[in-house]
Structure 1
Amino acid sequence: MTNRTLYIVVCGAPLASRTADGVKAARANGWDPYVIPTEAAMPWLADQDLGNAPVITGNRTPDQPKRTPPADAVAVVPITFNTLNAWANGNANTYPLTTLCAALGSHTPTVAVPFAKHDLAGHPAWLASLAVLRYAGVILADPHDGAENTVAPITSGTGETVANGFRWEWVFHHLNPAE
């Protein structure tokens, strides 16, 4: 265990298949990872070995204690069209969205890796939501090369290829720029 807590929020897209790599990379970079999947991400996680990283789903009941320490940082890998737009609009109707909205409100350092096909990324809400998140201080990392704030859409049929080429080091570079 370290003294730095990282929430890894995972949405349902091909890049979710690399969550176990993210848990390992987090530990290698001195973070204690907590995985917070959307419902759509759950099938992507089913066959992955996440080690002993806690996977936090659903809201807790009033009699349950908090399940995580406060986050020092958040990585949203991948973030889909639906979740990105809901987050930017302040919708907190699921545990992952509540986590993301709270991170914005508390100014917790956050890196998000958008993963949307060209037809969804062409919707006007997408560009507006990206702008809101940038304004709020979220670092947006391109899933193709990790570049900051240049998010290229995923060409239909290439999601698995993009996921295989993704490097978690890109996320940690943005979270630990001085290291």
Structure 2
Amino acid sequence: MTQRVLYMVACAAPPTTRIRVGIERAQLRGWDVCLVVTPSAYRWIEHEVDELSALTGHPVRFQYKLPTEVDVLPPPDAILVAPATFNTLNKWALGIADTLALGLLTEAIGLQLPVVALPYLNAAQAGHPALARNTTELRAAGVTVLLGGDGFVPHVPKHGDLDAYPWDVALAALPQKG
């Protein structure tokens, strides 16, 4: 049996500086991980892209390929968006696909792929009415958004705790091997 492929989509939020933790935990659960990041997140990890590529065995992707280029990543069996930012959640729900990450996420809904989103945002952002509307929209489309409750609980602005980011909660929400 071949290993199932997980696209880990990381946005520009502090847990991206520890994306290795998420990758390694997903690998321990048997996933072949491909890392896709937003252009802003790429700037945060640019210094370790070669190491992350070696860890996953795949190139780190952050921009659309040219039409003449071949796909360098295998097709995904599931997608984990972690950390998912306020910006990405809202654009995604509106169907905006102006980055590779958002393009993959908008297509994932139509392809009916299992998608889990683990946000990282502060309480001020969480209080914006667009987030509630768009989170409801994503959930109605079949996306598992782990916000509040047993998922990610927004923090006071400038007081996030990277050690408490619940990678394992997100990974447990992905489909199990079957």
TM-score range, shorter chain: 0.7 to 0.9
Secondary structure in structure 2 of the residue aligned to 1:52 = helix
Q: CA deviation at 1:178?
A: 8.0
1:58 partnered with 2:63: yes
Question: Which whole-Å CA distance do the structure 1 matches of 2:62 and 2:14 have between them?
Answer: 20
The RMSD of aligned alpha carbons is 2.2
Q: Which blocks of at least 5 consecutive residues in structure 1 are unaligned?
A: none
Give CA-to-partner distance per residue, 1:51-85, whole Å, 9 cap, x none. Answer: 33231121111110112221100000011111110
Instruction: Find the counterpart in structure 2 of residue 42 from structure 1.
Output: 42
- Name the amino acid aligned to 2:81: V
Please say if residues 2 and 30 of structure 1, whose CA atoms lie closer than 8 Å, have aligned partners that are also in contact: no
The runs of at least 4 aligned residues of structure 1 exceeding 6 Å deviation read none
Question: Which whole-Å CA distance do the structure 2 matches of 1:175 and 1:142 have between them?
Answer: 15
Change (3 A) 1:178 1:66: closer
Question: Which whole-Å CA distance do the structure 2 matches of 1:89 and 1:121 have between them?
Answer: 17
Give CA-to-partner distance per residue, 1:151-172, whole Å, 9 cap, x none. Answer: 532211222x1x2112422122
Question: Which whole-Å CA distance do the structure 1 matches of 2:172 and 2:125 have between them?
Answer: 28
Q: Which blocks of at least 5 consecutive residues in structure 2 are unaligned?
A: none
Q: Which one is further off, 39-48 or 110-119?
A: 39-48
Question: Which whole-Å CA distance do the structure 1 matches of 2:96 and 2:88 have between them?
Answer: 9
Identity %: 35
**Selected match of 2:130 from 119, 125, 134:** 125
- Name the amino acid aligned to 1:26: A
1:79 partnered with 2:84: yes
Residue correspondences, number: 173
Question: Which whole-Å CA distance do the structure 1 matches of 2:12 and 2:112 have between them?
Answer: 25
Please say if residues 80 and 117 of structure 2, whose CA atoms lie closer than 8 Å, have aligned partners that are also in contact: yes
1:69 partnered with 2:68: no
Secondary structure in structure 2 of the residue aligned to 1:9 = strand
- Name the amino acid aligned to 1:28: L
Instruction: Find the counterpart in structure 1 of residue 19 from structure 2.
Output: 19
| TM-score of the superposed pair, with normalisation by structure 1 | 0.87
Q: CA deviation at 1:96?
A: 0.5
